Amino acid sequence: MKKACVIGWPISHSRSPIIHNYWLKHYGLQGEYTRVPVPPEQLGDFIASLERQGLEGCNVTIPHKEAVFRLVTPADDMTRQLGVANTIFRRDGMTLGTSTDGEGFLLSLMAEAPCDLGAGPAVMIGAGGAATAIAAALVSAGCPEIRVANRTLEKSQLLRDRFGDAIRPVEYDSLQYALKDAVLLVNTTSLGMAGCPDLDVNLDRLPESAVVYDIIYVPLETRLLSLARQRGHRAVNGLSMLLYQAVRGFELWFGVRPQVTQELYERVAADVRGGLAT
């Protein structure tokens, strides 16, 4: 019986167990995936004891994604560059860490609203942790220009320092003008999340062919996404990213590359609709 878990502090909100236990059952695998609350001061001991606990590895969520990076060996260059890990696994006596958020973003985008990222600029709202993974993914996918509008301009400039001149910081107040010619608009901020103010953006200049992506999934349909759909844009929500970022971890721990199905989407969506506010 193979075992994995998700760790965080707090952790009760995590929907990862629904996803991984769905796949374990779907593929008829002997396994178990649980939630484990781990306070910051116990993170080092927890990671050091994975093998002793019989764990193949774990997902890592708030607030441990950066701290855990320093406790594991980065599994790939992208993770080394990002300095964060959300998926930990054991190989050849080593404890490795990888970041699957960028991959989850790209896979979900291509599955739900395929678009040619090389064909024009992307516009990203926000420049925090999620934005960093998405910026790296967009650069790696050949996006020629990523216009970053963040309330704190300096953080957009830090992204440019990290990922090069494809990153173009723009004034937050001028966001609506940056939408011209864009192939993709992504919200990575918490604006629009349950309990937060809505994101207020005028989409008039966004080409109708552009995809609008919101990494939020509580609610499943933010005001941004509903506005985008009304205007005829293809729209993708953060639940899709959550599901696709889980694929790699499951494959690493349980040895099967799982499919994201409509049934799985509906199962987690039902939990979101009926569930907690975060």
Q: Which residues bind ligand ATR (CB under 6 A)?
A: 126-131, 150-152, 155, 188-191
Q: Which of 2, 3, 25, 65 is catalytic?
A: 65
Q: Is 2 a catalytic residue?
A: no
Q: Quote the CA–CA distance of 67 and 127 in Å, as a whole number.
A: 19
Which residue sits closest to ligand ATR, CB atoms considered? 128
Nearer to ligand ATR, 130 or 260 (CB): 130
Closest distance of CB 155 from ligand ATR, Å: 5
Q: What's the DSSP call for residue 197? A: P
Nearer to ligand ATR, 95 or 150 (CB): 150
Closest distance of CB 151 from ligand ATR, Å: 3
CB 138 within 8 A of CB 110: no
Q: Quote the CA–CA distance of 45 and 135 in Å, as a whole number.
A: 32
Nearer to ligand ATR, 24 or 43 (CB): 43
Closest distance of CB 56 from ligand ATR, Å: 26
CB burial of 149-185 (b: ≥16 within 10 Å; e: otherwise) equals bbeeeebbebbbeebeebbbbbebeebeebbeebbbb
In terms of Cα–Cα distance, which of 81, 184, 204, 72 is closest to 138?
184
H/E element, 56: strand 55-60
Closest distance of CB 23 from ligand ATR, Å: 25
Q: Quote the CA–CA distance of 224 and 55 in Å, as a whole number.
A: 40
Nearer to ligand ATR, 130 or 178 (CB): 130
In terms of Cα–Cα distance, which of 13, 107, 10, 20 is closest to 56?
20
Active site residues: 65
